[in-house]
Amino acid sequence: MLLESIREELRAIVGEKNCLDKQEALVAYSYDATPMQQALPDVVVLPKSTAEVQQVMRVAARHHIPIVTRGAGSNLCGGTIPVGGGIVLVLGRMNQILEIDEQNLTITVQPGVRTVDIHQAVEALGLFYPPDPGSMVISTIGGNIALNSGGLRGLKYGTTKDYVLGLEAVLPNGEVIRTGGKLMKDVAGYDLTKLLVGSEGTLAIITEAILKLIPKPQTQRVMLAMFADMAQAARSVSDIIANRIIPGTLEFLDQGTIRVVEDFKQIGLPTDVAAILLIGQDGEPQTVDRDMEQIAAICQKNDAVQIKVATTAEEADEVMTARRSALAALSRMRPTTILEDATVPRAAIAPMVAAIQEITDRYGLQICTFGHAGDGNLHPTCMTDARNTEEIERVEHAFEEIFTAAIDLGGTITGEHGVGIVKAPYLEWKVGAAGMEVMKGIKHAFDPHNLLNPDKMFAKQSRNRVVVQRA
């Protein structure tokens, strides 16, 4: 419990209306989009400026109160759950686009701007901000930066980290740092910009960002290719890249996902195929047309049972919407949906999908897989029921095996969702004991009193790696 005098200090900074400790507010900021995670904060604070963030940080530092910074609360790693209570710092009111610089091709934003609003603002000027995480209609850019969000365009355009040029951030001691700038080259010291991207609110509170923009591609086209066999789909992916084509999007849905998406959206996906590739290309019209032709030929060669090129913008939009609703559509099947993001080198997609299937069957679970085939980022998604403790235990074991399989194939435990609470026990599997030490050192250098998003990233105890016995 926070002392009334501390609440008084916080109210003095942000005003009565923006310092909430009524039950309703505590419950409303006790969760994010992560299943089965909830914890009540002591107080919810909604600052309007960097100066207010600094003052709140100083109060927290003086009284050793944890701060969990939050945008839209759409993350899937439990990154904004106030596990140890304290302050939830909601940056939604800092939601101004400060500048779009058409000379330097940058946009400067406050952290509470929604990702989709950035897209709309820059695209109106013929510019492009590529990162497009699945939650972009609600997610804020601050959250995207904190979690280094990916999205459908990762293969060709990279992820959030590739577009953050500079940051303003409040340190745990209340000081403000500015990193990077409107600069394509800057080697002055350690790259703190890149370090803060993906730091999950554990090192500093990001209060402003300069993002890189690129010219908006002239045209976009999408197609679907359907396969009777997963291996054929995977081979098509490898062949496309081997042919020196980097598609704007290269997504895949397995049969289970296809069925659910079709049920949800009714866009005429065949429900009897083993895998669908959704392939998009953008750029100059001529190049796009040529690439699409070649891609179609490659899929044909790999025995695609059907290839459908979207002919109108509406058709293309429908196809993309269907992919974007995959997670959501899956969630209709059972009350609880657990979405993972094990990631492997793209050449290892077929064995990874096979491993997921085998593990799913062995544990008697319902796991459908979709994801970004182009960059090896898969979303094995488990439909379950949090109320069934026996089943949840099986789910946990199955996912542990899936993480192990990913690492064994040269992959990682999380490609784009982040570590947060849910992956913290497994982080050491990926980075090793020495890696953990370095990370803890970095955390200590920024935040010696462990005030910012404590209990995230570093688990009290790492899980023992499961020994996989395959028949």
Q: Which residues are near another protein by CB under 8 A?
A: 22-35, 38, 40, 72-74, 90, 92-93, 95, 114, 116, 135, 137-138, 264, 325, 327-329, 331-332, 335-337, 385-387
> Minimum distance from CB of 263 to another protein (Å)?
10
Closer residue to another protein (CB): 210 or 322: 322
Closer residue to another protein (CB): 29 or 157: 29
Closer residue to another protein (CB): 23 or 312: 23
Write the Ramachandran bin of 283: left for phi over 0, alpha for psi from -120 to 50, otherwise beta.
left
* Gap between the Cα atoms of 442 and 45, Å rounded: 27
* Gap between the Cα atoms of 424 and 356, Å rounded: 21
* Gap between the Cα atoms of 468 and 471, Å rounded: 10
Closer residue to another protein (CB): 142 or 217: 142
> Minimum distance from CB of 181 to another protein (Å)?
30
> Minimum distance from CB of 88 to another protein (Å)?
10
30, 40 in Cβ contact below 8 A?
A: yes
Closer residue to another protein (CB): 149 or 331: 331
DSSP state of 200: T
> Minimum distance from CB of 260 to another protein (Å)?
10
* Gap between the Cα atoms of 272 and 228, Å rounded: 8
> Minimum distance from CB of 449 to another protein (Å)?
28
Tokens of 207: 């209060």
List the one residue out of 74, 35, 34, 70 whose CA is nearest residue 53: 70
Tokens of 411: 């992959």
Residue with tokens 């009284």: 63
231, 300 in Cβ contact below 8 A?
A: no
> Minimum distance from CB of 62 to another protein (Å)?
27
Closer residue to another protein (CB): 166 or 420: 420
> Minimum distance from CB of 328 to another protein (Å)?
2
Closer residue to another protein (CB): 165 or 330: 330
Q: Using alpha carbons, list the distances in angstroms from residue 178 to 141, 191, 443.
A: 17, 12, 18
> Minimum distance from CB of 139 to another protein (Å)?
8
> Which residues on neighbouring strands pair with residue 254, listed in sequence order?
275
Q: For the sheet containing 67-70, what is the strand order?
A: 19-20, 43-45, 87-90, 67-70
Q: Which residues contact 47 (CB under 8 A, 6 or more apart)?
A: 13, 14, 18, 53, 56, 89, 91, 93, 94
Tokens of 116: 């989709």
Tokens of 236: 């098509």
Phi, psi (rounded to 5 degrees) for 429 = -60, -35
List the one residue out of 256, 292, 252, 298 whose CA is nearest residue 276: 252
Closer residue to another protein (CB): 10 or 405: 10
> Minimum distance from CB of 341 to another protein (Å)?
15
Strand-pair category, 67-70 with 87-90: parallel
* Gap between the Cα atoms of 354 and 285, Å rounded: 37
Strand, coil or helix: 279: strand
> Minimum distance from CB of 284 to another protein (Å)?
31
283, 217 in Cβ contact below 8 A?
A: yes
Closer residue to another protein (CB): 28 or 307: 28
Q: How many CB atoms lie within 10 A of CB 268?
A: 11
List the one residue out of 57, 55, 59, 51 whose CA is nearest residue 69: 57
Closer residue to another protein (CB): 158 or 264: 264
> Minimum distance from CB of 252 to another protein (Å)?
19
Closer residue to another protein (CB): 39 or 398: 39
Quote the strand ranges of 91-163, DSSP E. 97-101, 106-109, 127-128
Q: How many CB atoms lie within 10 A of CB 242?
A: 11
Closer residue to another protein (CB): 247 or 380: 380
> Minimum distance from CB of 421 to another protein (Å)?
15
